[in-house]
Amino acid sequence: MFQFGSRSGLTPSFRSPPRAAPGGEEVTTEEAGVRPPHGMAPRVTVQIKDGAAVAQGAPVACLRNAPDVCFVSPMPGRVARSVLLRGHRLSEIVVFRDPGGDVVTHATDDAETEPGLRRLMQRAGFWPWIRRRPFGGMPDADERPAAIFVMATDTRPFAPDPREALAGREEAFLRGLRALSMLTAGTVFVCQLPGSRFVDGSDAKGLRVVHSGSRHPQGASGLRIHALCPAGLDSPVWDIHAEDVASLGALIETGRLPMTRLVAVEGSALRESRLVRAQVGADLRELTHRIVRPGPHALLSGSPLDGHFAHWLAPRDRQVTVLPRETPRAAPHWLVAALTRSATPKPVIPSAALDQAFGDMMPAAAFVRALGAGDDETAMKMGVLSLLEDDVALADYVLGGDAHLAELLRGLLDRIRTEFAV
């Protein structure tokens, strides 16, 4: 068993009202959006026409280059509209709820073999819930990872406790872990807090339990991957949320993929916070209805650190953050701006806070400088292929948001992918 130092990391503070009730009630919004993972716009073939009825779990679109990989409806309903970008790239498919609709049941006869399990996961809509590294997004249909990281801890501000999400689903979680072990010849890492007893190393072949502390970014999957099994151009690594693994276990047993997950609704623009079970792609406006304070506000899918403006709950997100919308300030006079703002990036000053923002697991200041300078070679040597935007969000927060590390990281990863034609 591997354990990281419990003192590494930080505890960023954000304001949010207390929860009015223990939470966990199931909320199904009247509308839901089927979207690809954040930052992706894959080429798809739409499977159903606008206005047609659709069952929960039925495919609404599939990848053009891999027809078995499907995006499915998160609830029974009727397709309101399908929005495609240029080149048949998926933007969103909106579904209106139908309380009396059907639920698709998949055949699970061959789920005990790797090809059968892959087909089941892809056709049932589970594949977009997996995130690969390097570069992000969901893996290729036939990709075999060097390792799989199951995140049973989340240290971001306001994140719901995965232990609560897994309560009563321990058998399904273990079944899902055993299934994942068929997809890799490497290790399946389960990252959890000390004292959690989800599994131990003897529960499945190739399973390894990793304990980490409660400070951020100890629950960031990219830094766990960087420390334990760095991703490479020829050695992709996957990460999956523990609740999704339990859903995979339920899919294998019943043929039906659960579409709800534990979601925390938090933020300083709320009257009260909530903890609910909502469907994938839930309407953020309805989840926050009646609990938002008067005045303009911004809805984020994700945490205050790494969330993005959205209408629908993203496929992997389990947080909704509501913040007051800032009033635009008048631009300063051009001469004042020229005297107070340099055209070159601000220097990165090494500090204990910056080191802690990377969990003391990499030379933080040197890494940030490599990102700022666009030094792809140095960044690759330091482990950039294991990281994605949410892994550097805390460092961006520590630097006051002026470094724009997430944008620099994405630009660097895109250049590497283009250069190596991955």
How do residues 131-153 score in pLDDT, each as one tens digit? 999 999 999 999 999 999 999 99
pLDDT higher than 80, residue 176: yes
When pLDDT is averaged across residues 164-191 and rounded to a whole number, the result is 95
Residue type at 51 in one-letter notation:
G
Instruction: State the average pLDDT over residues 233-241.
Output: 97
CA distance 297 to 286: 14
* Residues 23 and 165 placed together within one structural domain of the fold: yes
Q: What is the pLDDT of residue 349?
A: 73
Q: Is residue 357 part of a domain?
A: yes
112 and 223 both lie in a single domain: yes
Model confidence at 199, pLDDT cuts 50, 70, 90, reads confident
Residue 409 lies in a domain: yes
| Shared-domain flag, residues 342 and 249 | no
Q: Grade residue 1 by pLDDT with cuts at 50, 70 and 90.
A: very low
User: What three-state secondary structure class fits 271?
Assistant: coil
**pLDDT greater than 80 at residue 371:** yes
What 3-state class would DSSP assign to 169? coil
The average pLDDT across 392-398 equals 94
- Would 378 be classed as within a structural domain? yes
Q: Which domain holds residue 127?
A: 2-28+105-254
pLDDT of 327 > 80? The answer is: no
Domain for residue 89, yes or no? no
Considering the domain architecture, whether residues 245 and 359 belong to the same structural domain is answered as: no
Q: What is the CATH number of the domain that holds 211?
A: 3.40.50
pLDDT > 70? residue 84: yes
Return the DSSP state at 195: T
Residue 22's pLDDT is: 72
Q: Is the pLDDT of residue 422 over 70?
A: no
Name which of 10-24, 86-100, 210-224, 371-385 the model is least confident about: 10-24
Tokens representing 122 are 């892809």
Does residue 226 share a domain with residue 356?
no
| Domain stop point among 200, 231, 254 | 254
Q: What is the side-by-side order of every strand in the sheet holding 77-85?
A: 31-34, 89-97, 77-85, 53-54
Residue among 181, 191, 116 at smallest CA distance from 150: 191
pTM over 0.95: no
Name the pLDDT band for 346 (thresholds 50, 70, 90): low
Same domain as 376, residue 244: no
Largest separation between any pair of C-alpha atoms in the chain? 72
pLDDT at 113 over 70: yes
Average pLDDT, rounded, for the chain: 91
Residue 286 included in any domain: no
Evaluate if residue 220 carries a pLDDT over 90: yes
* 343 and 217 both lie in a single domain: no
**Last residue of some domain: 237, 254, 271?**
254
What total number of domains does the chain contain?
2
What is the C-alpha separation between 23 and 217, in angstroms, rounded? Answer: 26
In a domain, 315, yes or no: no
| 350 belongs to a structural domain | yes
Neighbouring-strand partners of residue 45: 62
Single residue among 219, 235, 254 that ends a domain in this structure:
254
Give mean pLDDT, residues 85-90. Answer: 96
